[in-house]
């Protein structure tokens, strides 16, 4: 399962989405995530689905990569659907003991499941099509107006990007430690829940030590290179807004306006 987690990975390319400015992609992603939760009719979900599929096709990302972004979170999706299916009141479709499935529960469960899938797929485009350096620059530019009130824009952007960048590294490290401990007789898959939790200790201890060691090595490397972030730091590639960015953000805003109108008509 660890090999299927693709959060934080960057897939190089030259598609329409890849060429967009990171600031435009961050703004567009934020707007569309909010718009997803405005969908409340089959037509609205159809528009959200069509726009998500269109964005995925424009990104030219491999289908197996997109599938791997959703696959590790299927438990959360199913759990969310189950909560709504079994707890939403309505006309009963099936009842057995304390289990009561209603028509509104099934509809709400399917809606929430679809929302989560669209949210995961669309937000994954941001990290798949944006390199960590450009993502850092984009976040810093967007947070720069808040410097006047004491917000450390560069430091926050750097921490967020480093955390995102090291997710695949820590997953690889976890996989190696699990294989090494399994070769020494550790068992992570059998036994009771309490026993399996105890068996995780040989995994967590070296993983935390490795994470702190990597953080210390990164800090030493940045200091040895006299790294200084902030206002006076220059960039090899400056961010520029192009017509592609206006088209991308404008399309997202247009879709959002349509969803707002549909939500208003059927609220």
Mind listing the pLDDT tens digit for each residue in 235-258?
667 788 889 999 999 999 999 999
Percent of the chain with pLDDT over 90: 16
Q: Report CA-CA distances (Å) from 203 to 206, 216, 236.
A: 6, 20, 40
The pLDDT of 202-226, averaged and rounded, is 85
What pTM does this model have? 0.76
The pLDDT of 41-55, averaged and rounded, is 91
Distance, in Å, from the CA atom of 41 to the CA atom of 44, rounded to the nearest integer, reads 5
**Nearest CA to 265 among 47, 41, 31?**
41
- Weakest mean pLDDT among 38-52, 118-132, 226-240: 226-240
Report whether pLDDT(233) > 70: no
The pLDDT of 85-99, averaged and rounded, is 78
| Residue bearing tokens 């989560």 | 116
Distance, in Å, from the CA atom of 254 to the CA atom of 47, rounded to the nearest integer, reads 11
pLDDT band at 230 (very low <50, low <70, confident <90, very high): low
The pLDDT of 76-99, averaged and rounded, is 80
Distance, in Å, from the CA atom of 232 to the CA atom of 229, rounded to the nearest integer, reads 7
Report whether pLDDT(1) > 60: no
* Residue 166 confidence (pLDDT): 79
- By the 10 Å C-beta count (0-12 exposed, 13-18 middle, 19+ buried), 105 is classed as buried
Percent of the chain with pLDDT over 70: 92
The pLDDT of 205-231, averaged and rounded, is 82
* Residue 8 confidence (pLDDT): 60
Q: Report CA-CA distances (Å) from 47 to 35, 191, 267.
A: 11, 47, 17
- By the 10 Å C-beta count (0-12 exposed, 13-18 middle, 19+ buried), 149 is classed as exposed
pLDDT band at 4 (very low <50, low <70, confident <90, very high): low
Distance, in Å, from the CA atom of 176 to the CA atom of 165, rounded to the nearest integer, reads 18
Q: Report CA-CA distances (Å) from 101 to 53, 86, 116.
A: 31, 5, 21
* Residue 48 confidence (pLDDT): 92
* Residue 156 confidence (pLDDT): 81
CA 244 to chain CA centroid, Å, is 23
The pLDDT of 189-198, averaged and rounded, is 72
């Amino acid at each position: 399962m660890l090999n299927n987690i693709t959060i934080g990975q960057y897939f190089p390319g030259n598609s329409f989405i890849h060429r967009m400015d990171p600031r435009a992609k961050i703004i567009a992603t934020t707007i569309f995530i909010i718009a997803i939760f405005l969908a409340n009719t089959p037509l609205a979900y159809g528009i959200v689905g069509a726009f998500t599929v269109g964005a995925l096709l424009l990104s030219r990302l491999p289908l197996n990569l997109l599938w791997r972004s959703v696959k590790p979170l299927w438990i959360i999706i199913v759990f969310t659907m189950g909560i709504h299916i079994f707890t939403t009141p309505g006309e009963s479709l099936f009842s057995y003991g304390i289990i009561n499935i209603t028509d509104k529960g099934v509809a709400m469960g399917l809606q929430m499941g679809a929302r989560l899938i669209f949210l995961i797929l669309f937000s994954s485009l941001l990290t798949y099509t944006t390199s960590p350096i450009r993502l850092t620059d984009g976040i810093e530019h967007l947070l720069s107006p808040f410097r006047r009130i004491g917000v450390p824009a560069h430091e926050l952007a750097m921490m967020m990007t480093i955390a995102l960048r090291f997710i695949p590294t820590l997953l690889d490290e976890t996989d190696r430690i699990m294989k090494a401990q399994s070769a020494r007789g550790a068992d992570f898959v059998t036994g009771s829940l309490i026993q399996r939790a105890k068996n995780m200790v040989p995994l967590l201890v070296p993983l935390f030590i490795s994470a702190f060691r990597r953080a210390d090595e990164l800090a030493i490397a940045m200091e040895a290179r006299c790294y200084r972030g902030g206002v006076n730091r220059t960039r090899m590639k400056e961010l520029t807004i192009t017509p592609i960015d206006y088209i991308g953000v404008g399309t997202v805003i247009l879709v959002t306006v349509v969803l707002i109108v549909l939500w208003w008509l059927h609220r």
